[in-house]
Amino acid sequence: MNYKIHIFLFLFLFSCTTNNINKKDTDVVQHIDVFSSKGFALVFNDDLKKKRIVNKNLENRSLLIFQKNLKKDTSVKITNLLNNKSILVKVGQNSKYPEFYNSVISQRIFKELDLNHEEPYVEISTISVNSTFVAKKAKIYDEEKEVADKAPVDGISISDLSKNKKKIKKSKKIDNFNYIIKLADFYYENSAKMMQKRIKDELNLNNARIIKISNTIYRVYFGPYDNLKSLKKAFDDISPLNFENIEIIKL
């Protein structure tokens, strides 16, 4: 009798678990263990704080970044996707900044990565504290930080990606600006089509596209865009959807 009761309870719990899984609104493909975001970095300067574009200060020599999706003190690797230079940094206190950007970085980080004023395209990715990258780069954050914080920084002032009133070095010419906005990846094509319809119905936008990445990944995206102005406008148009990690991907 007890044996039958145990079987019944097991089947009941398994059924409940299955039902809960099936109640998900979408089947967005997610990578839980590792956070990664590709997009444009906003380089901090005092004007951004004065104009309330960013609501927290970031020191010129800081090895901290602002990133909305990650907790304070999270170790991350930030990579310049145009030259593959990387640096180990940590996430600072929570800060508000325009949704278009995937992070706010210091002027030191901007210089260390040799970013382009007009195309500061970066990837933010979480890393394990035991990873090889951390082992090799840890000194940048720990031993050099105290000295670096006291060292002078070259005057880099960036108030807008399209306008740079004070430049210390000339920006590199952009001859291959070509980006898409990835809204989400879905496991099923029908789910991707439902999202495409939602965009049309809620935002009156007819330019969302679907591409098959593999048999289990269907991507909903916008673009491509060949200039920063049109890219930023498109991003702002879809921001009411409130997706947490919309990605900007270079083609």
Quick one: three-class SS letters along 112-156?
A: HCCCECCECEEEEEECCCCCHHHHHHHHHHCCCHHHHHHCCCCCC
Identify the pLDDT of residue 160: 43
Higher pLDDT, 80 or 152: 80
Please state, in angstroms and rounded to a whole number, the distance separating the CA atoms of residues 200 and 217: 21
CATH code of the region 179-250: 3.30.70
Cβ 160 vs Cβ 206: under 8 Å: no
Highest average pLDDT, of 10-24, 127-141, 174-188, comes from 174-188
**Confidence check: pLDDT of 16 > 60:** no
**Confidence (pTM):** 0.67
- Which pLDDT score, from 0 to 100, does residue 74 have? 94
Residue 250 has pLDDT above 70, yes or no: yes
Decide the pairing of beta strands 247-250 and 179-186. antiparallel
Residue 242's CB is within 10 A of a number of other CB atoms, namely 8
Look up the CATH number of domain 36-150: 2.40.40.10
- The residues of the chain that CATH labels 3.30.70 are 179-250
Name the residue with higher pLDDT: 132 or 44: 44
Pick from 4-18, 57-71, 156-170: least confident: 156-170
